[in-house]
């Protein structure tokens, strides 16, 4: 089988990493994988080991603030993307195409209908949070008409059912993390690396890794650190890894909050160095009112680090973040609750490490990307029979 993913960015992010790791497992199972993208480059060299990479030339979607230019931008994106993906599928005997967001699912749906291909939508996050305006148009745009299957989890399936999607199309995609890429390092190695970053041995490091953008959860983690400083809590430092459209805004906020001496901002780093940086962190939060997964959490757990997140209405985090291995705070006033929990952990390295060991053990047993690959193959087989 030949599987084609279209995800606009091939940068260092949660869904990009997931696509790459699923690609690796499908490749090991004897299948061909392609990844078409539009921008960024951080994962290209790594992903080339598992799939064919091709850049499609389209404008960044909705880049303009002005009405007529935005309309032209959208028209060019829709049509140029459809033409290039259709041509690639025709020339490379693609069997299944996989999209992510609603905009791209709409375009790839037209390709799948024209070429009679299976089209799976791989949901990456809570839809009512990330795409509320698009979900309102889901039925009007008839996006679902050209989607063969949805790969996600119960909370997003409920959101899709609310816009008329049949539960017969739902495939519960288990959460996964690559435990060969993300793993604990020896304490001596970790401490030596931290010293190179200017971190003292007794400092508790609060970490973040991912894309720096307005719709990412880094801002609540920054707010926690601001509140720790306001409480006169000492003995901690922030290590923020990643770049993006709002990296300069992050630097400005750090300065505004008076956190410059407590913060290390690296920008983008090579993918092969990510594991080392995660190991340099002690506590890694993913904070929003109702988070849906988050690779930052699973990678932290795989590295034996302490992940902190929120038990929101969907209870998604509780499906893989377990007591005594991670910390979940309540969604009501979650920033303040997380601040309190983290302040109580600062300086308690032994407790943090004990919970990290239990997190790693859980991950090794339960969060495997090979299971995601098998689920995609099962969905393919069943949809072909329909």
Q: Is residue 179 part of a domain?
A: no
pLDDT in tens, 197-210: 999 999 999 999 98
What CATH number should be reported for the domain holding residue 154? 3.40.50.2000
Say yes or no: 7 and 150 in one domain.
Answer: yes
Residue whose C-alpha is closest to residue 337's, from 346, 329, 328: 329
pLDDT in tens, 115-145: 999 999 999 777 776 777 888 889 889 999 9
The C-alpha atoms of residue 342 and residue 331 are separated, in whole angstroms, by: 16
Say yes or no: 354 and 376 in one domain.
Answer: no
Say yes or no: 206 and 166 in one domain.
Answer: no
Q: Is residue 357 part of a domain?
A: yes
Say yes or no: 156 and 196 in one domain.
Answer: no
Do the Cβ atoms of 12 and 38 come closer than 8 Å? no
* Domain total in the chain: 2
For residue 363, give both structure tokens. 């991950």
Q: Which residue has the tokens 């499906």?
A: 319
Say yes or no: 309 and 355 in one domain.
Answer: yes
Say yes or no: 342 and 381 in one domain.
Answer: no
Say yes or no: 220 and 351 in one domain.
Answer: yes
The C-alpha atoms of residue 90 and residue 88 are separated, in whole angstroms, by: 5
Say yes or no: 356 and 298 in one domain.
Answer: yes
Domain of residue 83 covers 2-174+368-385
Q: Is residue 182 part of a domain?
A: no
Task: Give mean pLDDT, residues 295-319.
Answer: 95
The yes-or-no verdict on residue 33 having pLDDT over 70 is: yes
The C-alpha atoms of residue 178 and residue 24 are separated, in whole angstroms, by: 10
Say yes or no: 17 and 161 in one domain.
Answer: yes
Pick the range with the lowest mean pLDDT from 66-70, 128-132, 225-229, 331-335.
128-132
The yes-or-no verdict on residue 65 having pLDDT over 70 is: no
Q: Is residue 334 part of a domain?
A: yes
Residue whose C-alpha is closest to residue 190's, from 349, 52, 31: 349
Q: Is residue 269 part of a domain?
A: yes
The C-alpha atoms of residue 166 and residue 71 are separated, in whole angstroms, by: 32
The yes-or-no verdict on residue 155 having pLDDT over 80 is: yes
Question: What pLDDT is stored for residue 218 in this prediction?
Answer: 95
Cβ-Cβ contacts under 8 Å for 309 (sequence gap 6 or more):
285, 286, 287, 291, 294, 297, 317, 321, 326, 327, 328, 329
Q: What are phi and psi of 75, to 5 degrees?
A: -60, -45
Say yes or no: 153 and 272 in one domain.
Answer: no
State what percent of residues in the chain have pLDDT above 70.
99
Q: Is residue 249 part of a domain?
A: yes
Say yes or no: 76 and 152 in one domain.
Answer: yes
The C-alpha atoms of residue 348 and residue 104 are separated, in whole angstroms, by: 46
Do the Cβ atoms of 243 and 258 come closer than 8 Å? no
Q: Is residue 180 part of a domain?
A: no
pLDDT tier, 305 (very low <50, low <70, confident <90, very high otherwise): very high
Q: Is residue 248 part of a domain?
A: yes
pLDDT tier, 333 (very low <50, low <70, confident <90, very high otherwise): very high
Question: What pLDDT is stored for residue 67 in this prediction?
Answer: 80
Say yes or no: 69 and 83 in one domain.
Answer: yes
């Amino acid at each position: 089988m030949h599987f084609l993913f279209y995800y606009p960015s091939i940068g260092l992010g949660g869904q990009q990493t997931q696509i790459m790791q699923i690609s690796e497992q499908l490749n090991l199972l004897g299948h061909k994988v392609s990844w078409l993208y539009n921008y960024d480059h951080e994962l290209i060299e790594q992903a080339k080991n598992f799939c064919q990479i091709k850049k499609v030339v389209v404008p960044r979607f909705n880049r303009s603030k002005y009405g007529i230019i935005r309309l032209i931008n959208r028209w060019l994106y829709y049509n140029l993307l459809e033409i290039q993906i259709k041509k690639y599928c025709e020339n490379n005997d693609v069997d299944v195409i996989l999209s992510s967001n609603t905009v791209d699912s709409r375009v790839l749906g037209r390709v799948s209908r024209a070429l009679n291909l299976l089209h799976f939508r791989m949901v990456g996050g809570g839809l009512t949070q990330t795409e509320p305006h698009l979900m309102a148009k889901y039925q009007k745009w008839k996006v679902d008409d050209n989607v063969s299957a949805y790969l996600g989890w119960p909370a997003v399936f409920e959101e899709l059912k609310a816009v008329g999607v049949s539960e017969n199309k739902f495939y519960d995609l288990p959460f996964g993390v690559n435990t060969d890429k993300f793993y604990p390092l020896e304490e001596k190695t970790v401490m030596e690396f931290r010293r190179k970053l200017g971190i003292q041995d007794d400092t508790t490091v609060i970490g973040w890794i991912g894309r720096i953008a307005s719709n990412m959860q880094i801002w609540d983690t920054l707010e926690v650190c601001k509140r720790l400083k306001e409480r006169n809590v000492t003995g901690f430092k922030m290590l923020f890894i990643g770049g993006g459209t709002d990296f300069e805004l992050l630097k400005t906020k750090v300065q505004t909050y008076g956190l410059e001496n407590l913060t290390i901002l690296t920008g983008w780093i090579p993918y092969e160095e990510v594991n080392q940086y995660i190991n340099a962190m002690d506590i890694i939060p993913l904070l929003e009112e109702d988070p849906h997964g988050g690779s930052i959490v699973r990678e932290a757990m795989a590295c034996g680090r302490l992940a902190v997140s929120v038990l929101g209405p969907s209870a998604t985090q509780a499906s893989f973040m377990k007591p005594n291995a991670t910390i979940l705070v309540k969604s009501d006033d979650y920033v303040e609750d997380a601040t309190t929990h983290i302040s109580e952990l600062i300086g308690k390295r032994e407790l943090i490490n004990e919970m990290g060991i239990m997190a790693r053990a859980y991950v090794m047993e339960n969060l495997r990307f090979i299971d995601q690959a098998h689920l995609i193959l099962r969905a393919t087989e069943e949809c072909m029979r329909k």
